Amino acid sequence: MQQYRYFLRLAYDGSRYHGWQRQPNGITIQQTLEEAMSMMLRSPVLLTGAGRTDAGVHANEFFAHFDFDQQITKAEGEKLVFRLNGFLGGEIVLFELFPVTAHTHARFSAVSRSYRYCISRVQNPFRRDYTHFLYGHLDHTRMNEGAEVIMGYEDFTSFSKVDTDTMTNICKISHARWEMEGSELVFTITADRFLRNMVRAIVGTLLQMGTGKITLDDLKRIIESKNRSEAGDSVPAKGLTLFRIVYPNDIYL
């Protein structure tokens, strides 16, 4: 039986979820979507996501693919997206469903991913679920000097969770920078791939630079140690958002 591959483009507020990937002990984005789609398509749907966001992490843009034994027209896809959004209740929102080539993979075909980590410098009740509030002086010029250092490395074992199933800890970072956006200090980072917990560990370590706890030489030593215990603590998940994923143009039908 012929199978057709489809991509979903979506966003989600991860506050109440245990991340993207199915877990035995908590509700996840993947499980919620698979159950809703299986019900509406009256056939089991198995989704493969573009990555594994941790519990509490948000996504402004996320992709997942699934295979289906029937063709879904553009009009049918738009209707399905509308019905699913009505069912999902607003914390998970689908933007579109579209066909892709059979070999396209939501995770492995991605060219790059970009994350934002937001630190609030002023307490704001409307941003408390999406920022990490920090009081006191932060030297973001020194933090940007640290970000430049990080971009010169490719092995990020020091910023990865231990005992993961990844084959390599090599990542190629193309952008890493802190910017003030109103009352928020925002770290943006882009790479071809990320390790589990990597961004939150990098942010926690760069914050140590911002408070004067470590120097540039310390940062280099931490990275070269390839030891997670040498790096800073992971910052809270709520400040992290996956905001962009880029794919080659030739995936689209």
End-to-end CA distance of the chain: 20
Answer for the pair 49, 63: CB distance below 8 angstroms, yes or no.
yes
Where do runs of H (alpha helix) occur along the chain? 29-41, 74-88, 140-151, 198-210, 216-225
Where do runs of H (alpha helix) occur along 120-244? 140-151, 198-210, 216-225
Among the options 54, 192, 217, 218, which is catalytic? Answer: 54
Sign of the Cα pseudo-torsion (27, 164, 143, 174, in order): negative
Q: Is 129 a catalytic residue?
A: no
CA dihedral 17, 239, 91, 192 (to 10 degrees): -80
- Which positions are annotated as active-site residues? 54
